Structure 1
Amino acid sequence: MSMDINEVPSVDPKEEPHAAPPRGNLRKYDPLDMESASFSTHHGQAAKATDWMTILQLAFQSIGVVYGDIGTSPLYVYSSTFTDGIKHKDDILGVLSLILYTITLLPLIKYVFIVLRANDNGDGGTFALYSLICRYAKVGMLPSQQAEDAEVSNYQLDLPNNRFRRASRVKSTLENSKFAKYLLLFITLLGTSMVIGDGVLTPCISVLSAVGGITQATSAMTEGRVVWVSVGILICLFVVQRFGTDKVGYSFAPIITIWFLFIGGIGIFNFVNYDPSVAKAFNPKYIIDYFRRNKKDAWISLGGIVLAITGTEAMFADLGHFNVRSIQISMCTVTFPSIILAYMGQASYLRTHMEDVGETFYKSIPGPLYWPMFVVAVMAAIIASQAMISGTFAIIQQSLSLGCFPLVKIVHTSPKHEGQVYIPEINYLLMLACVAVTVGFRTTQKIGNAYGIAVVFVMTLTSALLVLIMILIWKTHIALIIGYVIIFCSVELLYLSSVLYKFVDGGYLPLAFAAILMVVMYVWNYVYRKKYTYELDNKVSPHKLKEIADNLNFHRIPGIALFYSELVQGIPPIFKHYVANVPSLHSVLVFVSIKSLPISKVPQDERFLFCRVEPRELAVFRCVVRYGYKDFHERDSFQEILVDRLKEFIREEQWISPPTISSNGDVNGNAMDNGEVTNEEEEIRRKEIVGREIELVETEYNAGVVHLLGENEVVASQGSNIGKRILIDYAFNFLRRNLRQRDEVFDIPHKRLLKVGMTYEL
């Protein structure tokens, strides 16, 4: 069951408080179907302006993390483009013109000045775009959506007004089309898979290209030795990832800065020393002449030219590690000028040395600078991998919030910048994949064929999602949207058609990666939704709870029990299984649902939603703890914070649903008999009741907290088809057994942990 996240349940006038609550926006909902008492305040917390010193520090760090990939592209672009040599001298000008306009159009204009604006509260990537669309239109596939989600400060978006009928029509079409919802999810999963594929291919091609340069200095360095040296470097790179982006960024930034100064300086030297007339390439007529001369070969060569913009998606995927302004500053002041000068310098050298096109980069380096440049090139190539590795971590963290990825442990590596994370399992899987690709392909040409497909696919999918955001959220003028599609999307589709031509020559690799990852993400998401629907359909009824309360053989034991469940709209069926086998209940029981919202952060005072489970004498509560995909999960202090918020809820609850008191002082849920108790006496007794409940919570907290974790085995129901049986019984359960368990992800203390098992037939 999916709730309308844009509608807020109405308040029964009879249940309005007798006096204004002291804080928060408090309302009463059905306590078994939705959260009844959000006592959080809604300050509309705006992001604080980051001071310029911090922005400049982040800009410096971003040079070491974000731009290593695009910065090392000059190592192999010309050799990948002119695979059969240069046939006409002016072809160099045509290719240079294509490189200049491609870098200006896509990385600079599209990503730095347009796509970065489509961030999700400071976070970027394919899932950031998808989460924005899901929050605006009801197209998300998660069954755990609640009306209260829309009240989180960071969740809110401007709703369309009557002037923007186009946005409303598109929104209605998306919400009413099951195909459109699945298509959006498919695009998102495919884009995510391609970014992860980038994270595998970037280290391979960058390190191989740089290390291969030593063959210019000595013939003793064979191809096999280059491959194994590259493998050793890659292993070292992934080992240091556990130190975090913050430390890695500060270590790498000076090296990449030196790299940009070197390639820019050498570019100026070559430009002045060989052929300054390459500046004519700014005239786009040379692109037309290039296609007229070479026709199909020119179209095929686009697969090499597109490598000049590798790593562009990292600027967006890594946005959560930095911020928009810092990336814009570093791109415009350092990265863009340096790589433009590098390509112009190489083109100038090639105009007089066309035979050196296979080793353009190293051949164009002045003799005295060869060894210093080789050392810096190897170090820069190592660092180039960091961009997509960091981006992969960030985008997997986002996918977890949408239930689209198996449980993995997210390690926050920086106390200053909350978006910087490290995922151990993914790090070592990437390392194994990189080693396998490097050993298997051995040459940059084959890896380049695969790399181009991954790069252009992600760009094209990003454009598709961005057009939807322009229509639905930004409400951009239709002329600007058409202009964006004509200018950017047509260019990307042209490049995509070229790279797909090399499918059989290695281009299949990223698509194979994507297929495997999409199967994993789809299996996890499918079973997650099925399991949640089962729990929702079989949740504990109020009648069953009343039976438990009236059962004289049922014992209460000291302490507080936190019963973890994914269900946020009721009490899970596993609770019936528990009480049937253990006829005792802790004095205070809280059903806790750890829920990830499709937003980057949830403000601390809006994180906990409580409601009381009737009958009141059971002292049973439900709590939904909401996190964004960039939020840090409290470990040691979690139960302490939860209990403090529970006590605060009990205090505030009297303003929402005050306990009614009869003339003899008993608490009940019926209306008070008129005239039996004065308002002043009622207020005093109400405070006494609240005081006793808070005292009970404090006493039981001191007695100890036990964590009860529902461990659900899932199997396909009898009569299921063979496809469903394979998907649930084998694929899902294989993933669940071989990845982290929920108690490991949430860091629940094992000494206070009790697992309750139950099998669900889906």
Structure 2
Amino acid sequence: MYMKNKQPLPAVTLAAIGVVYGDIGTSPLYTLRECLTGQAGITMTQSSIFGFLSLIFWLLMLIVSIKYIGFVMRADNDGEGGILTLMSLAVRHINPRYFTITVFMGLVGGSFFYGDGVITPAISVLSAIEGLEIIEPSLDPFIIPLSIAVLTLLFVIQKKGTGSVGKLFAPVMVLWFLSLAVLGISGILKNPGVLQALNPYWALNFFLAYKGVSFFALGMVVLAVTGAEALYADMGHFGKKPIRIAWFLLVAPSLVLNYFGQGALLMTHPDAIKNPFFLLAPDWALVPLLLIATLATVIASQAVISGVFSLTRQAMRLGYLPPMRIVYTSDVESGQIYIPVVNWLLYVAVLIVIISFKHSSDLASAYGIVVTGTMALTTVLLSIVAIKNWGWKPRWGLLLMVLMLLIDIPLFAANLTKLFSGGWLPVVLGLSILLIMMTWHTERSRLLRRLREDPDALGALINSLEKSPPLRVPGTAVFMSRAPDAVPLVLLHNLKHNKVLHDRVILLTISSADAPYVHKLKRVTIEHLSPSFWRVVASYGWRETPNLEEVFYRCGQDGLRCTMSDISFFLSRDTLALDKRPWYLRMRGKLFQMLQRNALRAPDLYQIPPNRVIELGAVVKF
């Protein structure tokens, strides 16, 4: 069951600053520069500078402060957040006709996060290391090698866990945000008139002045709010209150001050556009600022990588990704995990991106589509939750959706124009993950349906074995079953080849609940099927790890006493064979076969002692 964080509120708030706000907190490194250089037809004038500053300020207020802080974070599942959590909440009370499309929207949003997970480390670290060019132009050739070195070190230390390194996150990020604020204030004091851009008139004037060009410029403005999804995704670690306090007390003021400080600098020194963030600092502060910026971008990258790990585990437990090895790097925090396969695939993708794009400005054109797409999907799912779960009247839920989509859709449409200039990359990555998710879930469901085609087969088999039992041997046999009412193929193969049956037989199914945690009192259900057969179903939430020691401890409390050392586990090593099907379904089936072959096997997944496992082969047609 979800437990609230017991640390004092100030400590949790500091921790939230260190983890939650890394991505959005490093956006000032490149956002205003890309706004004023990324769109042809926009010249650097007071009107354009004020227009972009006003758009950035009001997007931060409307999207982060009102949408995510005010509304989205209310949609929690036992304290947990994230797009897949929102999806699971939305489908609980929805009309079955809309179930599939609702799940599809959640999966698209989740898969897009993987694309974001590749772009964020690359653009963040590159934009920080590019400060070398300001310090000494001759160091330009070292930017890419140093960026690769920093990211390589980051991915290598993932297996050590973020616990010890994470203690540095909060003070570094607090120092970073204070630096943003101080630099911003120094710029504003030299040109206080820049504060006029707080007036939304300048955002409206920007659209009137630049007309069609202003629409395409929105694709760059959205860089200021990348990372907003992290507020919601990391809610389970820190709770709503610390995240909200950190935003309004430190993060939002620091970001706004820095953006406006950069704007003030550009009004008097337009040539500073090559890197207004670093040129806002005095010469003596450039080296320390470069170091702090590098650390901040590493932390931002770490937060995204950890988010990808968490999303992967959630998708695995919900049945949308195959089982993979998960390493728990903390004895006290279940959220600190390391997934080797995902880590190294992500690392290779990040390297390819850095080597291919070479500069953060080029990467900026790849950013935005998946972020704004996820924002729009979040809006639709949130409106469903408001109507179906919170009891809002449909007209108020639809009004909420329309108002939010009036912001999300233009941002998404503006970013679509970047599709062929780099935006295709995260989209292709996201769609690849989506294909894998849908293939695994669909084909696995098809396989389970095949295994339980005859719901009475299990009962008939047990009755037959009780009436005409084979040779009985002492002990307890546990037959792992994918579905509670299916006949375990490994049981049939044991009877066929070994022609014996243990005195006590337990049919065990591990099921995933649509919740992050399952109360321990509801963990195990036991059904006595016959004098020698029991059915045991153990339920775990998607933030929990199945533990067979706990399962059989609970069984013992309910009268089914057995210990791991006395049990023989019978597992089926399936060979999947495809039935006749159209070519496109056959391709999907072959992808599923490949995923199945490389998935983590049950003995490793459930940490069953190897000397207690007996595996028997089975061919399953599906």
Q: TM bucket by the smaller chain?
A: over 0.9
Aligned pairs (5 A) from 1:265-304: 265-273=182-190, 275-304=191-220
Say whether residues 1:630 and 2:492 are aligned partners: no
- Equivalent of 2:180 in 253, 263, 266: 263
What letter is aligned with 1:711? R
Alpha-carbon distance between aligned partners in 1 of 2:33 and 2:415, rounded to the nearest angstrom:
16
Aligned pairs (5 A) from 1:354-753: 354-478=270-394, 480-538=396-454, 540-551=457-468, 554-614=470-530, 616=531, 619-634=532-547, 638-639=548-549, 641-650=550-559, 697=561, 701=563, 704-717=566-579, 719-728=580-589, 730-753=590-613
Which structure has the larger Rg over C-alpha atoms? 1
Alpha-carbon distance between aligned partners in 1 of 2:100 and 2:313, rounded to the nearest angstrom:
21
- Equivalent of 1:216 in 127, 131, 134: 134
Aligned to 1:66: 20
Aligned to 1:253: 170
Alpha-carbon distance between aligned partners in 2 of 1:120 and 1:703, rounded to the nearest angstrom:
37
Q: Which ranges in structure 2 are unaligned for 5 or more consecutive residues? A: none
Q: Could you tell me how far 1:228 is from its partner in structure 2?
A: 1.7
Alpha-carbon distance between aligned partners in 2 of 1:478 and 1:132, rounded to the nearest angstrom:
17
Partner SS, residue 602 of structure 1? coil
Q: Could you tell me how far 1:703 is from its partner in structure 2?
A: 7.1
Q: 1:346 touches 1:361 (CA, 8 Å); kept in 2?
A: yes
Partner SS, residue 450 of structure 1? coil
Alpha-carbon distance between aligned partners in 2 of 1:397 and 1:206, rounded to the nearest angstrom:
25
What letter is aligned with 2:581? S
What letter is aligned with 1:438? I
Q: 1:320 touches 1:420 (CA, 8 Å); kept in 2?
A: no
**Between the two proteins, what is the percent identity of the paired residues?**
30
Q: 1:536 touches 1:569 (CA, 8 Å); kept in 2?
A: yes
What letter is aligned with 1:236? L
Q: 2:490 touches 2:618 (CA, 8 Å); kept in 1?
A: yes
Alpha-carbon distance between aligned partners in 1 of 2:451 and 2:3, rounded to the nearest angstrom:
41
Alpha-carbon distance between aligned partners in 2 of 1:739 and 1:431, rounded to the nearest angstrom:
20
Alpha-carbon distance between aligned partners in 2 of 1:467 and 1:214, rounded to the nearest angstrom:
46
Deviations 1:450-508 (A, max 9, x none): 21112111111111110100110112244543442343211111111111011110011
What letter is aligned with 1:760? V
Q: 1:594 touches 1:626 (CA, 8 Å); kept in 2?
A: yes
Q: Could you tell me how far 1:417 is from its partner in structure 2?
A: 3.2
Deviations 1:537-563 (A, max 9, x none): 1463333222222335x2222222221
Aligned pairs (5 A) from 1:96-245: 96-134=53-91, 136-137=92-93, 171=94, 174-175=95-96, 177=97, 180-223=98-141, 225-245=142-162
Instruction: Supply the RMSD in Å over aligned alpha carbons.
Output: 1.9
Deviates more, 1:323-332 or 1:276-285: 323-332
What letter is aligned with 2:358? R
Partner SS, residue 137 of structure 2? coil
Q: Normalising by structure 2, what TM-score?
A: 0.95
Q: Which ranges in structure 1 are unaligned for 5 or more consecutive residues? A: 1-44, 138-170, 651-693
Q: Could you tell me how far 1:111 is from its partner in structure 2?
A: 0.9
Deviates more, 1:404-413 or 1:491-500: 404-413
Partner SS, residue 335 of structure 2? coil
Compared CA separation, residues 702 and 487, structure 1 to 2 (3 A): closer
Deviations 1:280-325 (A, max 9, x none): 1121111111111111221111111100011111111122222212
Q: 1:86 touches 1:357 (CA, 8 Å); kept in 2?
A: no
Q: Could you tell me how far 1:598 is from its partner in structure 2?
A: 1.4
What letter is aligned with 2:140? T
Q: Normalising by structure 1, what TM-score?
A: 0.78
Alpha-carbon distance between aligned partners in 1 of 2:348 and 2:236, rounded to the nearest angstrom:
26
Partner SS, residue 587 of structure 1? strand
Q: Could you tell me how far 1:348 is from its partner in structure 2?
A: 1.0
Alpha-carbon distance between aligned partners in 2 of 1:702 and 1:97, rounded to the nearest angstrom:
64
Q: 1:64 touches 1:252 (CA, 8 Å); kept in 2?
A: yes
Deviations 1:361-392 (A, max 9, x none): 11111222111111111111111112221221
Deviations 1:170-227 (A, max 9, x none): x3xx21x2xx22211221111011111111110000001000110112122234x211
Deviations 1:648-691 (A, max 9, x none): 334xxxxxxxxxxxxxxxxxxxxxxxxxxxxxxxxxxxxxxxxx
Q: 2:323 touches 2:600 (CA, 8 Å); kept in 1?
A: yes
Q: 2:490 touches 2:570 (CA, 8 Å); kept in 1?
A: no
Q: Could you tell me how far 1:424 is from its partner in structure 2?
A: 2.0
Alpha-carbon distance between aligned partners in 2 of 1:542 and 1:271, rounded to the nearest angstrom:
78
Compared CA separation, residues 508 and 555, structure 1 to 2 (3 A): same
What letter is aligned with 2:88? S
Aligned to 1:10: none
Aligned to 1:349: 265
Alpha-carbon distance between aligned partners in 2 of 1:248 and 1:56, rounded to the nearest angstrom:
20
Identify the structure with the greater helix proportion.
2
What letter is aligned with 1:416? V
